[in-house]
Amino acid sequence: MGLRHLAHEVAAEELVKKSRFITRLIPARDAAAAKAQLAAVRKRHHAARHHAYAMILGSDAVVQRSSDDGEPAGTAGAPMLEVLRREQVTDVLAVCTRYFGGVLLGRGGLIRAYAGGVAAAVALAEWRSDSPRRRLAIQVPAHQVGRVENLLRNFGAANPALGIGQVAYGEVTTLELTFPPELEPALKAALAAAGLRAG
């Protein structure tokens, strides 16, 4: 079974012993997008005490991160991440916002609440199967890296399926791009117009 991708953002809400848990699953094509989405959730729910999160990113689900965001270690982010792993998904950010209700839940209660929130959101979500993706490495002289990263950001804004993977900085910087096959002609045309070599 291939990895699944989230079609669009979804939210599930639950009240557990007076604490309000709002769990969002948000599509995120890379770490920068996930960071921006997390910041947006924090801003929207600035009065909440915790914003625990878990994310799985990359065509091979190689980037996996989580945070308890002030909850006791191992009671929030890790259980959330485990649910995502079990569901075989990628390019997704799970954020669970908690408004504390005054009643302590204990370790077991917290783990159940955070994992349960992600499981509930997963059940509500619409998923699509992993489509084949192409990989392309581009070589960029050090003095052009800023210009090229800007070009790729603009191209990615218009074409959200573009993923920017590993970046190896040096005298010649290598950027690894991933994208669906149908995006290849437009991407190569944009790179060629900028005088870049892809291989």
Q: What is the pLDDT of residues 146-197, one digit of tens each?
A: 888 888 888 888 877 787 776 777 788 887 888 877 788 888 888 888 777 6
Give the domain CATH number at 160: 3.30.70
pLDDT at 116: 94
Give the domain CATH number at 43: 3.30.230.30
User: What is the domain range of residue 13?
Assistant: 4-129
Do 104 and 18 share a structural domain? Answer: yes
pTM over cut 0.85? no
Helix orientation angle between 184-193 and 145-158, rounded to the nearest 10 degrees: 150
Helix orientation angle between 77-86 and 106-124, rounded to the nearest 10 degrees: 40
Do 24 and 87 share a structural domain? Answer: yes
Number of domains in the chain: 2
pLDDT at 58: 86
Do 141 and 118 share a structural domain? Answer: no
Sign of CA dihedral 106, 108, 112, 114: positive
- Domain edge (last residue) among 129, 164, 188: 129
- Domain edge (last residue) among 95, 129, 163: 129
Low-confidence residues of the chain: pLDDT under 50: 1
pLDDT at 79: 95
Do 177 and 85 share a structural domain? Answer: no
Amino acid at 47: A
Do 112 and 140 share a structural domain? Answer: no
Do 22 and 102 share a structural domain? Answer: yes
Round to whole Å and give the CA distance between 175 and 166: 6
pLDDT at 1: 43
- Domain edge (last residue) among 129, 149, 167: 129
